[in-house]
């Protein structure tokens, strides 16, 4: 154990015997030894023995890694993200920060429910058993989490407050229930948000083709925050640009005009366009299948009704369309800005128009939109296309082809000039730029009361209803007399009832539980029904970083003071796959909680995350058959010679690639197996060394041997330095050139003044350079792969210094070695601790953990000596180190200094005609 005093003598003798064998120690044996020691020394059973001694008034640093779903097994991706966050946290503690480094479990959701259903057990039992397994794996990784802050989203202590936040949203007009066309997963039997359906119309979980249904659903009006969510990204300067771009695209802020097209029926059709300058070449309107006009027309048009039925599952990329013959529209103004009612614009029903986005209607301009061009070409191939925007050079304009839309490579309309052509006369708009024309047309539409400026967002309200059991129950009650009534605070949480396995089947078992459904109305006391939907699990994860700060609070979700003091999260680490949904919802809920006064983050626009780090995936080595590409199982391979694998049946060489780890490719790697084989330190260092954080990491276990050799070198280096420290007297060579260094601390001892030779100056400054490089790599550049290479280089610097033959002060050598151990301790805590203990035992010093130390801080030493090249009659004859003030000395003194070094004297002769002295150079001209 660690002690603040001396270790008792018998124990010290036993440990000293261990020290003598330390250079031969197996790295994987250190993990159990040191985790046991750390826990014994820590009052809160932490594997960081000094964490509880951090100054509570010190500046906080909130380091957060995305909490996992408790599937029962951590993979290499988890090892990567948790190693990164652990290194940062340990480093910041060495720097004196009050570090917040929590962990918890994103425990609700479909996977747990489906897994429990398959096994005939309750999801709670399955989830708790998985949490225990994964927690054990995290300990194997030496992940130094604040377990006293642990949360689990399936705990009533947590989802009580998720329900309260839902009710606060409802209270502030941000929650509503309506019948809506939804995405129904026929396999998982639940609703999916639009964000959970891929471009092919498949469920992100089951892979099934999603069906469209109309159901009463709960929505959160995130669109009311769309503008803030988009504009406030300007403060997120420490987020990856690609993540911000993904969020901007998802929010989809568009500035344009709503235009009302009159029709020859009883309805007008309103569309939104961001390019009003194309109004005069609109050639059709397209309506969503659930647009009111389409629904009414279908009642009288069997063909349209059949088209709607056949296309209700059609992908949004479809160009199918049905011409509604009962209605035609008119462009609302003409090119002289007069009201126009010439009903010559056909109207189509088209599945590519999204009913829940915007107005469910699109203005089709085939010349200037690729999708419109393809649709028109399919349905009106014989009719000419009208173009309005072209090149201002008439010669160029005539050569523009109409075999495709006039757009740039991204499908966007070019800016150009408004030009009349054979199909379109543009009157007062001819020759205007697109910007000028857009402004004038908008004004004309507004004056005619058939249009107005509008900002539109692609983002849609957040559908949170899920017809499944394993989630937070929505705390609402339906009363025949009072309508929908919120559950009172004193009745929270609405507990998820415990179910036996016989109750589980696809769909929502809550709706079949009379004891859950039947209740009384909080308003009138009459009979009522509970809402049986549960919340989208993104609701659980949208605020969990607040709860970590006050996880035991029973009065409120979290303390305003604690949240205001410690938010936003200083560094958030996780996969880029969460770039839109989780991060967008988290930003929204944080802004809402700030706006209603639960925390004050106005200095950072109520944004929850200051710096976002997205690590790349970990790919595994994949072996496949060279003839048919089939992935090979481990028992089909001879890997006795790792760099020359063979297929056992054929003796052929397999094809080797690195691909996403999966069971079907037999390329997965268990972090626990690797740690037990090589030790946590080597595994962690290897994970960091293999690739930059944001890059895909190709996991190659064979290459870990280089890390292994380095760590053993560090251990044996300590033995060599300690042997020299104990045996060598501090006696310098008599002919050394020394320079005074002031106010310096070596090995814990303060020197007001000490003299160093040039080698010592160089070593001190080189060590300090690496200390600063490692710090910069961790907290500024996030180049963790270069940290390992720098630590290896610093190790080699110390080894070379020992072998150089130059006199080096023993205190300086030991101090340099200690600095190496301290700066590598966040990455390799066990080896660093082992070597640190060896020092204290050998020198009979206090046995104190390395994690009580502070990160080295020192100024570079400036020497008064510089190197001089000596030229005699134009030829270089010597190099020596001398005081930089030598250039101000008289010639006789300079010559004496030159003659002291090497064979220069025989070249100088006895007669010197001229002496030229400059910084770093002495030129001597002698008599011929």
The full set of domains in the chain, from first to last, is 165-224+461-534 (3.40.50.620), 253-457 (3.90.740.10), 618-698 (no CATH), 704-852 (1.10.730.10), 865-926 (3.10.20.590)
Instruction: Print the SS3 string covering 651-686.
Output: CCCCEEEEEECCHHHCCCCCHHHHHHHHCHHHHHHH
Closest-CA residue to 810 (of 895, 736, 724, 744): 724
pLDDT at 416: 63
Q: At what angle do helices 671-678 and 123-140 cross, to 10 degrees?
A: 30
pLDDT at 207: 80
Q: Hey, which residues does 300 pair with through a beta bridge? A: none
Contact (Cβ atoms closer than 8 angstroms) between residue 358 and residue 272: yes
Q: Exposed, middle or buried, 559 (CB in 10 Å: 0-12/13-18/19+)?
A: middle
Number of other CB atoms surrounding residue 413 within 10 Å: 21
Pairing between β-strand 175-185 and β-strand 417-418 as defined by DSSP bridges: unpaired
pTM: 0.85
| Cα→Cα distances 522→176, 388, 543, 555, 661, Å | 19, 62, 28, 21, 52
Contact (Cβ atoms closer than 8 angstroms) between residue 569 and residue 608: yes
| Cα→Cα distances 136→73, 345, 476, 672, 715, Å | 10, 67, 38, 10, 28
Closest-CA residue to 27 (of 615, 480, 679): 679
What digits encode the pLDDT tens for the residues 852-869?
A: 999 999 788 876 666 778
Closest-CA residue to 812 (of 748, 742, 752, 753): 748
For 240, the token pair is 């990856």
| Cα→Cα distances 312→173, 206, 216, 354, 687, Å | 32, 20, 19, 11, 48
What digits encode the pLDDT tens for the residues 733-792?
A: 777 778 888 889 998 899 998 888 888 989 999 999 999 999 999 999 999 999 999 999
Contacts 24+ apart (CB under 8 A), 590-595: 590/543, 590/546, 591/225, 591/228, 591/229, 591/232, 592/168, 592/169, 592/172, 592/174, 592/225, 593/165, 593/543, 593/546
Query: What does DSSP assign to residue 210?
Result: P
Instruction: Print the SS3 string covering 707-733.
Output: HHHHHHHHHHHHHHHHHHHHHCCCCCC
Contact (Cβ atoms closer than 8 angstroms) between residue 286 and residue 350: yes
Instruction: List phi, psi (to 5°) of 350.
Output: -145, 130
pLDDT at 864: 65
Q: What is the DSSP string of 865-908?
A: EEEEEEEETTEEEEEEEEEGGGGGS-HHHHHHHHHTSTTHHHHH
Name the residue with tokens 């910041």: 92
Host H or E run for residue 520: strand 518-520
Query: What does DSSP assign to residue 410?
Result: T
Query: What does DSSP assign to residue 779?
Result: I
Positive or negative, the CA dihedral 660, 663, 666, 667 is positive
Q: Classify the phi-psi angles of 105: left when phi > 0, otherwise alpha if psi is within -120 to 50, otherwise beta.
A: beta
Q: Exposed, middle or buried, 597 (CB in 10 Å: 0-12/13-18/19+)?
A: exposed
Contact (Cβ atoms closer than 8 angstroms) between residue 272 and residue 452: no
Contact (Cβ atoms closer than 8 angstroms) between residue 493 and residue 160: yes
For 277, the token pair is 């300058």
3-state secondary structure of 327: strand
pLDDT at 828: 98
Sheet-wide strand order for 175-185: 190-192, 175-185, 211-220, 462-463
Instruction: List phi, psi (to 5°) of 835.
Output: -70, -35
Block means of pLDDT (10 residues each) for the chain, 928 residues, are 40 42 76 94 85 86 96 90 97 96 94 81 91 94 95 98 98 93 78 72 79 87 97 97 94 94 93 92 94 94 94 81 96 93 95 84 90 91 81 45 54 60 70 88 96 92 91 97 96 91 69 93 96 96 98 97 98 91 97 98 97 93 90 89 88 90 83 94 96 92 93 95 74 77 89 89 94 96 95 96 88 95 98 95 88 90 74 77 73 75 60 78 77
* Whole-angstrom distance, CA of residue 424 vs CA of residue 440: 18
Pinpoint the alpha helices (H) of 416-488.
434-447
pLDDT at 180: 77
For 862, the token pair is 């400036």
Name the residue with tokens 């003091």: 565
pLDDT at 4: 36
* Whole-angstrom distance, CA of residue 686 vs CA of residue 79: 11
For 325, the token pair is 């013959």
Estimate to the nearest angstrom the gap between the alpha carbon of 393 and the chain centroid: 48
| Residue 113, C-beta contacts closer than 8 angstroms, at least 6 positions apart | 123, 468, 469, 470, 504
Query: What does DSSP assign to residue 567?
Result: P
For 472, the token pair is 């937070």
Positive or negative, the CA dihedral 197, 200, 204, 207 is positive
pLDDT at 126: 92
Closest-CA residue to 661 (of 723, 616, 596): 616
Positive or negative, the CA dihedral 422, 423, 428, 430 is negative
Closest-CA residue to 733 (of 806, 798, 802): 806
Host H or E run for residue 61: strand 60-65
Instruction: List phi, psi (to 5°) of 243.
Output: -70, -45
* Whole-angstrom distance, CA of residue 181 vs CA of residue 195: 14
* Whole-angstrom distance, CA of residue 716 vs CA of residue 836: 13
């Amino acid at each position: 154990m660690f002690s603040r005093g001396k270790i008792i003598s018998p124990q010290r003798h036993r440990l000293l015997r261990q020290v003598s064998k330390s250079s031969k120690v197996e790295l994987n044996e250190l993990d159990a030894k040191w985790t046991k020691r750390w826990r014994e020394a820590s009052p809160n059973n932490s594997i960081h023995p000094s964490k509880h001694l951090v100054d509570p008034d010190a500046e906080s640093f909130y380091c957060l890694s995305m909490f996992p779903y408790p599937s029962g097994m951590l993979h290499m991706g988890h090892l990567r993200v948790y190693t990164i966050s652990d290194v940062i946290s340990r480093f910041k503690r060495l720097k004196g920060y009050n570090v917040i480094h929590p962990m918890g479990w994103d425990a609700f959701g479909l996977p747990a429910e489906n897994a429990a259903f398959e096994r005939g057990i309750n999801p709670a039992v399955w989830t708790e058993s998985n949490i225990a397994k994964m927690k054990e794996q995290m300990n194997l990784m030496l992940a130094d989490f604040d377990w006293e802050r642990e949360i689990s989203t399936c705990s009533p202590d947590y989802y009580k407050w998720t329900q309260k936040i839902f009710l606060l949203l409802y209270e502030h007009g941000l929650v509503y229930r309506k019948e809506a066309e939804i995405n129904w997963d026929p396999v998982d039997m639940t609703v999916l948000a639009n964000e959970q359906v891929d471009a092919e119309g498949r469920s992100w979980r089951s892979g099934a083709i999603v069906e469209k249904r109309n159901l009463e659903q709960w929505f959160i009006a995130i669109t009311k925050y769309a503008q803030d969510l988009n504009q406030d990204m300007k403060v997120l300067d420490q987020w990856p640009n690609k993540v911000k771009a993904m969020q901007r695209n998802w929010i989809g802020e568009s500035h344009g005009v709503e235009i009302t097209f009159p029709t020859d029926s009883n309805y007008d059709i309103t569309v939104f366009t961001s390019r009003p300058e194309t109004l005069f070449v609109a050639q059709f309107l397209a309506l969503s299948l659930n647009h009111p006009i389409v629904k009414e027309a279908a009642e009288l048009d069997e063909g349209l009704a059949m088209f709607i039925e056949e296309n209700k599952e059609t992908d949004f990329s479809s160009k199918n369309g049905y011409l509604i013959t009962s209605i035609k529209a008119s462009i609302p103004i003409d090119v002289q800005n007069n009201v126009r009612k010439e009903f010559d614009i056909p109207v189509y029903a088209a599945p590519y128009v999204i009913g829940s986005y915007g107005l469910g209607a699109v203005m089709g301009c085939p010349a200037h939109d690729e999708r419109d061009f393809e649709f028109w070409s399919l349905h009106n191939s014989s009719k000419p296309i009208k173009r309005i925007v072209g090149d201002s050079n008439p010669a160029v304009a005539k050569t523009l082809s109409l075999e495709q839309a006039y757009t740039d490579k991204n499908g966007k309309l070019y800016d150009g000039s408004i030009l009349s052509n054979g199909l379109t006369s543009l009157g007062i708009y001819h020759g205007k730029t697109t910007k000028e024309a857009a402004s004038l047309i908008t004004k004309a539409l507004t004056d005619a009361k058939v249009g107005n400026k509008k900002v539109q967002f692609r983002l849609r309200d957040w559908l949170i209803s899920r017809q499944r059991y394993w989630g937070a129950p929505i705390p609402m009650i339906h009363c025949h007399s009072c309508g929908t009534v919120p559950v009172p605070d004193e009745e929270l949480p609405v507990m998820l009832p415990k179910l036996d396995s016989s109750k589980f089947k696809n769909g929502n078992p809550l709706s079949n539980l009379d004891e859950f459904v039947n209740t009384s109305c909080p308003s009138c006391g009459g009979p009522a029904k509970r809402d049986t939907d549960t919340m989208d699990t993104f609701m659980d994860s949208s605020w969990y970083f607040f709860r970590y700060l006050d996880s035991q609070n029973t009065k409120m979700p979290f303390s305003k003071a604690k949240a205001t003091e410690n938010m936003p999260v200083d560094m958030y680490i996780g996969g880029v796959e969460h770039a839109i949904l989780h991060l967008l919802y988290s930003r929204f809920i944080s802004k809402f909680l700030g706006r209603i006064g639960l925390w004050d983050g106005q200095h950072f626009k109520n944004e929850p995350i200051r710096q976002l780090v997205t690590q790349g995936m970990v790919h595994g080595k994949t072996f496949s058959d060279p003839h048919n590409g089939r992935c090979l199982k481990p028992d089909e391979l001879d890997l006795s010679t790792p760099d020359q694998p063979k297929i056992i049946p054929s003796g052929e060489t397999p094809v080797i690639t690195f691909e996403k780890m999966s069971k079907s490719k037999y390329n997965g790697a268990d972090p626990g197996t690797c740690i037990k084989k090589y030790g946590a330190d080597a595994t962690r260092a290897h994970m960091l060394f293999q690739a930059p954080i944001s890059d895909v990491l190709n996991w190659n276990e064979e290459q870990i041997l280089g890390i292994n050799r380095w760590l053993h070198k560090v251990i044996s280096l300590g033995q060599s330095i300690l042997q020299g420290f104990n045996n060598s007297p501090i006696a310098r060579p008599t002919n050394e050139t020394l320079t005074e260094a002031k106010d310096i601390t070596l090995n814990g001892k303060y020197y007001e003044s000490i003299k160093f030779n040039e080698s010592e100056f160089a070593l001190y400054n080189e060590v300090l350079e690496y200390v600063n490089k490692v710090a910069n790599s961790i907290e500024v550049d996030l180049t963790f792969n270069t940290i390992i290479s720098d630590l290896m280089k610093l190790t080699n610097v110390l080894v070379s210094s020992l072998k150089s033959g130059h006199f080096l002060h023993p205190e300086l050598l030991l101090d340099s070695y200690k600095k190496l151990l301290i700066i590598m301790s966040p990455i390799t805590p066990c080896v660093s601790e082992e070597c640190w203990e060896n020092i204290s035992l050998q020198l009979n010093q206090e046995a104190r953990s390395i994690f009580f130390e502070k990160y080295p801080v020192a100024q570079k030493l400036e020497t008064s000596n510089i190197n001089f090249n000596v030229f005699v009659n134009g030829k270089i004859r010597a190099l020596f180190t001398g005081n930089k003030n030598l250039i101000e000395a008289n010639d006789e003194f300079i010559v004496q200094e030159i003659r002291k070094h090497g064979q220069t004297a025989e070249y100088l002769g006895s007669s010197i005609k001229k002496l030229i002295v400059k910084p770093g150079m002495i030129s001597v001209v002698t008599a011929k």
